[in-house]
Chains A and B, each alone.
Chain A
Amino acid sequence: MKEQSDEPLSLVLLGGSSGSFTIFEEILKMLKNPVSCALVFIIHRRKDSTAVLPEIFRNKTNIAMKEPIHLEPVLPNHIYFGYPDYHLLIGPDGRFYYDDSEKDFFSRPSIDATFVSAALSGIPVKAAMLFSGSSADGAFGLKLIAQKGFPTYVQDPAYADSPRMPAEAVRQYDKHHVLLEKGFYKMIREVLY
């Protein structure tokens, strides 16, 4: 199973819920050139959501997008989306693991499940970001990533469509970088490239 490339793996993790969809779209649009990291997007979805995110977002980016299968290796220069009704975990062996244990904050996939697993995986996190959403999911995982010494970013709650998610992240840990409204996408771009 030699699917790994020579490039060392690093992760960029992006979590969001209501109000984050257009942000994700904008971020994908700026991803025209190859990136050195693997990008993992976790957005809350209903379990019966049949929408296939890589399909919806097709033509937005040149980078390969997929909903990974269980045990698939995490590869640089790929964009991954969580699949509805399962948590998406990242293992210390650099593979994706699906998990159907209880929901966190009424959500599966939950952002915390992915963030916590990434923080504990030993794989370097280049950046983790949390955007608009109406639950407290993601705050704990983001804090853990920050405490592991990796850079973390939170959308300015004052400008988020649903401020609860980023506000909770800041409440639990006040040293996240706050992505201000002004220069929002420019800042994200600089983090990614």
Chain B
Amino acid sequence: MVIIEYSELEMLIVRIREISGFDFSGYAKPSLLRSTSRYLTKNAMNLKELFLYIEQGGRAVYDLIQELTVNYSEMFRDPDYFKKVRTEVFTYLDSYPALRFWVAGCASGEEAFSMAILLKEAGLQGKSLIYATDLSNKVLTAAREGVFTLGNIRTFSENYLQAAGTGSLSDYYYVAYNRAVIAPELRKNIIFSLHDLTGDGVFNEFQFISCRNVMIYFSLELRQKVFRLLYDSLSMLGFLCLGKRETLRYSGIEQHFKIIDSELNIYQKIK
């Protein structure tokens, strides 16, 4: 494993900003240090070589940014959360004529597909639109394709059953060339698009925002800025869902929300 120190990471952040304009300074440094170290290890590179590599600009630095910001997910990750959304949140949203969902930081689409299935099984699919955004074009391309390995699908299926899915996950994908492909029918309500939570602004108003395991990558200051964006993007009485280890503590917007579930971090905007 290739190890780098925080001082070296700071130099790298400066250089990336100079070359590309992308600013990592508000990212959680411990995670960034780990992902940089993993990137170097995977590419059998030392830091000096990385600096030389990104001097080429363009593609090279862009690739690095994508690799360092990528997050990993599973369909129906934290099955309890999906159960709770179905019982507590959907019953509430049922009365709305039209619904907009935002999956912020959607990676390869796992969370968006899970949400689409949940909506379908709750009979809400017809009036719902899911916006799934990420800052990485690479993962968005993967998300639009909706292709997963069979190994992935096994894990997803277990999660789905634990989340009390009403059918079988295989109802929602077909297998081709040893890969699972998410059914087009499921994808038609999902709009995948490029959006950087740290730089871009409000683009719509939502009744439901899921931003799970994204905030953990941002520093305290940047989190507050992103939380503000999520707050501004939520309609009154809309829901905000965070990852299991994230809370509204230190967010700067906690006073505007009612806690629906403190374990699963589901909140409702009340003012």
Contacts and interface: CB of A to CB of B under 8 A. Distances in A.
Given A92-B6, A120-B3, A144-B3, A99 B247 contact: no
A101 B30 contact: no
Interface string A112-146: 11001100111000000000000000001000100
Nearest to A90: B30
A69 B6 CA distance: 23
Contacts of B246: 70, 98
A85 B81 CA distance: 14
Given A91-B29, A120-B6, A100 B34 contact: no
B247 A70 contact: yes
Interface string A75-107: 000000001011101111000011111100000
A178 B31 CA distance: 31
Interface residues of A, number: 28
Listed residue (B79, B216, B246) with the most chain A CB atoms within 10 angstroms of its CB: B216
Contacts of A70: 215-216, 245-247
Contacts of A102: 38, 72
B156 to A, nearest CB: 13
A99 B3 contact: no
Nearest to A48: B162
Contact of B34 (A48, A83, A85, A101): A101
B130 to A, nearest CB: 22
Nearest to B77: A85
A113 B33 CA distance: 11
A92 B29 contact: yes
Contacts, number: 72
Nearest to A68: B245
B25 interface: no
B183 interface: no
A23 interface: no
B30 A91 contact: yes
A71 interface: yes
Contacts of A90: 30
Contact of B71 (A83, A87, A100, A121): A100
Given A70-B216, A70-B245, A117-B30, A101 B38 contact: yes
B35 interface: yes
A116 B38 CA distance: 12
Interface in A26-55: 48
B216 A99 contact: yes
Nearest to A141: B1
Nearest to A89: B30
A86 B245 contact: yes
Given A97-B216, A101-B71, A117 B33 contact: yes
B48 interface: no
A90 to B, nearest CB: 7
A101 B214 CA distance: 11
B75 to A, nearest CB: 14
A97 B6 contact: no
B189 interface: no
A24 B214 CA distance: 32
Given A69-B249, A97-B31, 8 more contacts: A48-B162, A70-B246, A70-B247, A86-B245, A89-B31, A100-B72, A120-B5, A120-B33
Pairs of residues from A and B, 3 with the lowest C-beta to C-beta distance, nearest first? A89-B30, A98-B245, A97-B30
15 contacts: A48-B79, A48-B162, A70-B215, A70-B216, A85-B244, A86-B245, A87-B34, A89-B30, A91-B29, A97-B216, A98-B246, A99-B28, A101-B34, A120-B3, A144-B3
Interface of B: 1, 3, 5-6, 28-31, 33-35, 37-38, 71-72, 79, 162, 213, 215-216, 220, 243-247, 249-250
